[in-house]
Amino acid sequence: MATQYEGGFVKEPKPGIHKNITVLDFRNLYPSIIMTHNIDVKTFCKPCAKKYYVPGFKDRWFCASPEGDVPKKLKKILEERWALKRRLKRKFDERLAKREQQLKLAANITYGYFGYPNSPYYNVKVAESISAFGRHYIKHVISDAEKAGIDVLYADTDSVFLKCGIAPAKRLLKKINAELPGSMKLEYRGNYVRGIFVATKKGAGAKKKYALIDSKGNITVRGFETRREDWCRLAKDVQKRILQLILLEKRGEAVAYARRMIGELGKGHARIDDLVLNVQMAKPIDSYKATTPHIAVARKTGAAQGTIVRFVIVKGKGSLSERAEPYPGPKLSDIDFDYYVNKQVMPAALRVLSVFGIDERDLLKA
């Protein structure tokens, strides 16, 4: 298991709807840091003439030379990846696109080698140093944006969400890139006409929880239930539609839609296929100590590691795990609709609507 240490910097989002949002992020942040600062176990705190000191640590540095093994490998990986991206821009090729994604993964997991005890590159101080550099650079971007009079709505590890148009964002981008060392580069990712941000509880898992819509109507969603496997299709669809309506500035329609869907579900009006929960068995069944609904179903069906367990929650007495039944099997009349209203669709709707002060009582009004 990887050793724990402080990770990337997160600036909590400003909850609510915001207009004219431009997103900037670092290209390959951690790999770029490793290459730019010659980060390697062999270059860490060795006697040398030129040193790259780690932000926040007076007694930590990396030698500028000789070049470390990991930075050298990363350069080869990223040079090939960037060359492939240039080719793919000219003409798409499925085989090259797959290779480009493989190289992206290979570059990104390199950072984890330093924090993994079984790795030949293991050194928790080195891993900690990389994230310290990351925090330093993202805070530098935030500081420069605020000095330029730009409101920073949210930031997470390698990206910033600015409340401004494209022109001021690109001026900021040019200034920062002129100051960044080595292979580090901040890039323009897009401009969005509106976005909704939801504050997250500390220690509550996923940090990112936002949805954005661009001028063409394309929606980008992060952190909401629309992308999670442990929610039924109906809950995901309801939340996605609410997000669309909110981003189109139709809040009243969004509330009315949520009320209607919850009311219909409470009456048992739904397709059973839309109520199925799909959870993958990430580990062998014997390694699970707690009995969650999908584990209870896996034990009934003998599902193996990697299998997608499909089940529904039915009426009856006992815990949720005791009422989880493999699907197909149960009929619509067997379904515990109170569970799907109160633990699936209602929470999914309120993840978005609570930003506007709407609560459960508002959604249960006739």
Residue 91 parent element (H or E): none
Return the percent helix, strand and coil in the chain, to nearest 5: 45, 20, 35
* Owning domain of residue 264: 224-270+338-363
Per-residue pLDDT of the chain (366 residues; tens, 9 = 90+): 445 778 899 998 888 899 999 999 999 999 999 999 999 999 999 999 999 999 999 899 999 999 999 999 999 999 999 899 899 989 988 999 999 999 999 998 888 889 888 889 999 999 999 999 999 999 999 999 999 999 999 999 999 999 999 999 999 999 999 999 999 999 999 999 999 998 765 544 445 689 999 999 898 988 776 556 679 999 999 999 999 999 999 999 999 999 999 999 999 999 999 999 999 888 888 888 888 899 999 989 888 888 999 999 999 998 999 999 999 999 999 999 999 999 999 999 998 998 888 989 889 876
Tell me the C-alpha distance between 309 and 303, whole Å.
Answer: 7
| Token pair in block for residue 271 | 């397709």
Closest CA to 283 of 300, 302, 304, 262: 304
Task: Write down which residue in 160, 193, 221 finishes a domain.
Answer: 221
In the chain, the number of structural domains is 3
Number of other CB atoms surrounding residue 236 within 10 Å? 20
Number of other CB atoms surrounding residue 182 within 10 Å? 13
Identify the bridge partners of residue 52 per DSSP, sorted by sequence position: 62
Give a yes or no: residue 352 inside a domain: yes
Instruction: Give burial (CB, 10 Å; 0-12/13-18/19+) of 272.
Output: middle
Tell me the CATH number at 315.
3.40.1820.20
Considering the domain architecture, whether residues 266 and 298 belong to the same structural domain is answered as no
Residue 75 parent element (H or E): helix 69-90
Residue 190 near residue 20, CB atoms below 8 Å: no
